[in-house]
C-alpha cells in the first residue's frame, strides 16, 4: 500500500481488505474522502455493500475454522504483539493519515491515537497470558470447569472520532480471544483502518482473520454486517440511535452485542476543589479533539460560591486555545469532522440563544478559516436544566455551565438524562468524593481527573450509553464463550 504523505497534500485511495488482499468493489463504486480542514478530496474510497460483506464474512469463517484455530496461544500472543510493534514503527505515517482524515491536531494523533492503538495490541497480548476460567467441585460427586472458546466471526463497527484507537480497542481482544473479524470503519475516516490490513498481514496474521469493508451504515455495508446470518457477534461504537437499529437487525439471529454509545457527561465542581487543576483539566475534558470525544464533560456544574472564579479562569484559558491548521504544532483545536457535523453543532449554538443562553466565548467560526470545518470553543451559560442544549449530545467544542447550591440537587441534575457514560467530580473532601461518585449513574466516574485510563478497568456506559463493558477481562468475556464441563467423579 503506497501512500503519499510527505507533503501537506495527500492522495490515498482506500480499498477493501478481504482474505489478505486489497481490492475494489465489484461494481467499481467509490465515494470521496474529504479532508475536513481544507474540504479537499484526498482519495476515493471503495463503497462496499452486501456483496463485499458476504465475501468478508465467508473469508472470516474459513479462517476461523482453518489456520487461526490451530495457532497456539503463544504464537497468537507473538503475532498480536507484533501488530503493536509495527504500528509504532509506522507511527508518523499513521498519525498523519489520522489527522488528514479527522482534522484533529497532529500533536494529538501522534501522542494519543496512534501510540494508544499500538498499546491496545501490546496490552491484550500480554493480558491473554493471565486469562483463566473457573472451576467448582460439587462435594465428591462432580468437578466442573469452564473452558473458553472464541465467539466466532465478529463484526466490528466503528465511529470517526478516534478511528484507529477505537478500532484496535476492539480488534486486539477479538483476536486475542481467537476470533476472526470483519471491520466496518466509519465512512468519514477510512485511511488508518485500510493501512491496518497490511500491518496485520506483515505481523503474520493469517489471511481472512482480519477483513475490512468500507461503506456507509444504513442500507449499506454496516446494515449488511449487522444482519448477516453467519456473524456471531457485533461490537459497535457510535450513536445511541444507531445502536438501536443494529440491535434490531442483530436480533434476527440473536447475535451477542457490545455497545459503546453516546454520552452527555456531567463535570461537577465543588468549591473546595483545587481550582487551577480543575480549570486546566476541564479545558481538556471540554475541548480536546474538538469536543468530539464520547467522554467529554459537556455539562459543567459549579458550586455557586466558586462559580465566578471558575468561569473567569475557564473563559480566559479557553480564549487562549489556538484553533487552526491541524498540522501546525501550536494548534490546540483542529477541524471538526465534516461540514455537515459543523452545521449541526452551529444549529445547537443557535438553539442555545433561542433557549435564553448567553454565549460567553466562541459560538462562531474563526475568522479566516471559513473554508474548513472549524469552530471556536464555546461556553454557554444561562440555560435551564430542561433546555435541549443541556440535555442532548452535541459532540463538538460546546459546553454549558450551570451553578448549583446543594449536593443532592447537583446529583439529581447529573442523573437527569437517559445517558450514563462518564462523569467527573472535583472536590478535596474525601467523604464527599466517595458519596457523590457512588450516586452518579454512569459507567465511569473520575474524581479530580478526567480520561485517566487503566486498560484493565471496566469501560462502558449504563442507561442508553451502552451495553456491556470493555477493558481487561471484560473484553475477554465478550469475545469468548464459556463451556462448562461437568465430570462425575
Ligand atoms: P454513528 O452511529 O453515526 O456511526 C458509527 C458507525 O456505525 C459508522 O461506521 C457507521 O457507518 C455505522 N452505521 C451507521 N448506521 C448504521 C446502521 N444502520 N447499521 C449498521 N451500521 C451503521 O456514530 P458516529 O457519528 O460515527 O460517532 C459519534 C457517536 O459515537 C457519538 O454519539 C459518540 O458519543 C459515540 N461514541 C461513543 C464512544 C463510547 O465509547 N461510548 C466512543 C466514541 C464515540
Nearest CA to ligand 1 atom 40: 260
- pLDDT tens, residue by residue, 176-212: 999 999 999 999 999 999 999 999 999 999 999 999 9
| CATH number at 16-261+464-488 | 3.40.605.10
Nearest CA to ligand 1 atom 37: 261
Q: What is the mean pLDDT of residues 436-447?
A: 98
Q: What is the mean pLDDT of residues 131-135?
A: 96
260 catalytically annotated: yes
How sure is the predictor about 371, in pLDDT bands with cuts at 50, 70 and 90?
A: confident
Q: From the candidates 260, 393, 470, 477, which is the catalytic residue? A: 260
pLDDT above 70 (res 4): no
pLDDT for 370: 85
How buried is 438 (Cβ within 10 angstroms: 0-12 exposed, 13-18 middle, 19+ buried)? exposed
How sure is the predictor about 6, in pLDDT bands with cuts at 50, 70 and 90?
A: very low
Q: What whole-number distance in Å separates Cα of residue 119 and Cα of residue 26?
A: 36
The alpha carbons of the chain give a radius of gyration, in whole angstroms, of: 23
Angle value at C-alpha 312, between 304 and 335, nearest 5 degrees: 115
- pLDDT tens, residue by residue, 162-177: 999 999 999 999 999 9
Angle value at C-alpha 85, between 83 and 91, nearest 5 degrees: 100
pLDDT for 5: 47
Portion of the chain with pLDDT greater than 90, in percent: 97
Q: What is the mean pLDDT of residues 378-391?
A: 97
Give residue 425's region: left, alpha or beta (phi > 0; psi -120 to 50): beta
For ligand 1, is residue 150 a contact (CB within 6 Å)?
no
Domain segments of the chain as ranges: 16-261+464-488, 266-453
Q: What whole-number distance in Å separates Cα of residue 268 and Cα of residue 445?
A: 11
pLDDT for 449: 98
CA count, 13 A, side-chain hemisphere, 332: 18
Angle value at C-alpha 362, between 326 and 271, nearest 5 degrees: 105
Angle value at C-alpha 184, between 102 and 263, nearest 5 degrees: 60
For ligand 1, is residue 169 a contact (CB within 6 Å)?
no
Q: What is the mean pLDDT of residues 357-362?
A: 98
Are residues 52 and 221 in contact, defined by beta-carbon separation less than 8 angstroms?
yes
Quote the ligand 1 centre to 439 CA distance (angstroms).
28
For ligand 1, is residue 259 a contact (CB within 6 Å)?
no
pLDDT for 1: 60
pLDDT for 3: 57
Q: What are the cell numbers at 118? A: 499500538
pLDDT for 188: 98
How sure is the predictor about 10, in pLDDT bands with cuts at 50, 70 and 90?
A: confident
Nearest CA to ligand 1 atom 15: 217
**Distance from CA of residue 258 to its chain's centroid?**
13
93 catalytically annotated: no
Nearest CA to ligand 1 atom 34: 262
> pTM of the prediction?
0.97
Quote the ligand 1 centre to 331 CA distance (angstroms).
27
Are residues 238 and 157 in contact, defined by beta-carbon separation less than 8 angstroms?
yes
Average pLDDT, the chain: 97
**b/e per residue 184-193 (b: at least 16 CB within 10 A):** bbbbbbbbbb
For ligand 1, is residue 263 a contact (CB within 6 Å)?
yes
pLDDT above 80 (res 420): yes
- pLDDT tens, residue by residue, 25-55: 999 999 999 999 999 999 999 999 999 999 9
Are residues 347 and 355 in contact, defined by beta-carbon separation less than 8 angstroms?
no
Quote the ligand 1 centre to 327 CA distance (angstroms).
26
pLDDT above 50 (res 218): yes
- pLDDT tens, residue by residue, 84-129: 999 999 999 999 999 999 999 999 999 999 999 999 999 999 999 9
Q: Which atom of ligand 1 is nearest to the CA of 470?
A: 40
For ligand 1, is residue 193 a contact (CB within 6 Å)?
no
Q: What is the mean pLDDT of residues 444-462?
A: 98
pLDDT above 70 (res 232): yes
Quote the ligand 1 centre to 159 CA distance (angstroms).
4
pLDDT above 70 (res 8): no
For ligand 1, is residue 470 a contact (CB within 6 Å)?
no
Looking at domain 266-453, its CATH architecture is 3-Layer(aba) Sandwich (3.40)
Nearest CA to ligand 1 atom 10: 217
pLDDT for 160: 98
Amino acid at each position: 500500500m503506497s501512500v503519499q504523505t510527505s507533503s501537506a497534500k495527500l492522495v490515498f485511495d482506500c480499498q477493501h481488505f478481504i482474505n489478505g488482499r486489497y481490492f475494489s468493489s465489484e461494481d467499481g463504486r467509490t465515494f470521496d474522502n474529504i479532508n475536513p480542514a481544507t474540504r479537499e478530496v484526498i482519495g476515493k474510497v471503495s463503497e462496499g455493500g452486501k456483496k463485499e460483506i458476504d465475501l468478508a464474512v465467508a473469508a472470516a469463517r474459513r479462517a476461523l475454522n482453518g489456520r487461526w484455530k490451530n495457532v497456539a496461544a503463544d504464537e497468537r500472543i507473538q503475532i498480536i504483539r507484533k501488530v503493536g510493534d509495527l504500528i509504532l514503527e509506522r507511527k508518523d505515517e499513521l498519525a498523519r493519515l489520522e489527522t488528514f482524515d479527522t482534522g484533529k491536531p497532529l500533536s494529538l494523533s501522534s501522542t494519543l491515537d496512534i501510540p494508544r492503538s499500538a498499546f491496545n495490541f501490546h496490552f491484550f497480548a500480554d493480558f491473554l497470558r493471565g486469562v483463566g476460567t473457573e472451576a467448582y467441585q460439587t462435594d465428591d460427586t462432580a468437578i466442573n470447569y469452564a473452558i473458553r472458546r472464541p465467539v466466532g466471526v465478529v463484526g466490528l463497527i466503528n465511529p470517526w472520532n478516534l478511528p484507529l484507537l477505537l478500532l484496535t480497542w476492539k480488534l486486539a481482544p477479538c483476536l486475542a480471544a481467537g476470533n476472526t473479524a470483519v471491520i466496518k470503519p466509519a465512512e468519514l475516516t477510512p485511511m488508518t483502518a485500510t493501512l491496518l490490513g497490511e500491518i496485520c498481514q506483515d505481523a503474520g496474521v493469517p489471511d481472512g482473520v482480519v477483513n475490512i469493508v468500507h461503506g456507509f451504515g444504513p442500507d449499506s455495508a454496516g446494515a449488511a454486517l449487522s444482519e448477516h446470518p453467519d456473524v456471531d457477534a457485533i461490537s459497535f461504537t457510535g450513536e445511541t440511535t444507531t445502536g438501536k437499529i443494529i440491535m434490531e437487525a442483530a436480533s434476527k439471529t440473536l447475535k451477542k452485542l457490545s455497545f459503546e454509545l453516546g454520552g452527555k457527561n456531567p463535570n461537577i465542581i465543588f468549591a473546595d476543589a483545587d481550582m487551577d487543576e480543575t480549570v486546566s483539566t476541564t479545558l481538556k475534558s471540554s475541548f480536546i479533539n474538538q469536543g468530539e470525544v464520547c467522554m467529554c464533560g459537556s455539562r459543567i456544574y459549579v458550586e455557586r460560591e466558586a462559580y465566578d472564579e471558575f468561569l473567569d479562569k475557564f473563559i480566559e484559558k479557553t480564549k487562549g486555545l489556538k484553533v487552526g491548521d491541524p498540522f501546525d504544532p501550536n494548534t490546540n483545536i483542529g477541524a471538526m469532522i465534516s461540514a455537515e457535523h459543523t452545521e449541526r453543532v452551529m444549529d445547537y449554538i443557535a438553539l442555545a440563544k433561542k433557549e435564553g443562553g448567553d454565549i460567553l466565548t466562541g459560538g462562531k467560526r474563526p475568522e479566516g478559516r471559513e473554508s474548513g470545518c472549524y469552530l471556536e470553543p464555546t461556553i454557554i451559560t444561562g440555560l435551564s436544566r430542561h433546555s435541549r442544549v443541556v440535555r442532548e449530545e452535541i459532540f463538538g467544542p460546546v459546553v454549558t455551565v450551570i451553578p448549583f447550591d446543594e449536593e443532592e440537587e447537583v446529583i439529581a441534575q447529573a442523573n437527569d438524562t437517559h445517558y450514563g457514560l462518564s462523569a467527573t467530580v472535583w472536590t478535596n473532601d474525601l467523604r464527599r468524593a466517595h458519596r457523590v461518585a457512588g450516586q452518579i449513574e454512569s459507567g465511569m466516574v473520575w474524581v479530580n481527573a478526567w480520561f485517566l485510563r487503566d486498560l484493565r478497568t471496566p469501560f462502558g456506559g449504563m442507561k442508553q450509553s451502552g451495553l456491556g463493558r470493555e477493558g481487561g477481562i471484560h473484553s475477554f468475556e465478550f469475545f469468548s464463550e464459556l463451556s462448562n464441563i461437568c465430570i462425575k467423579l
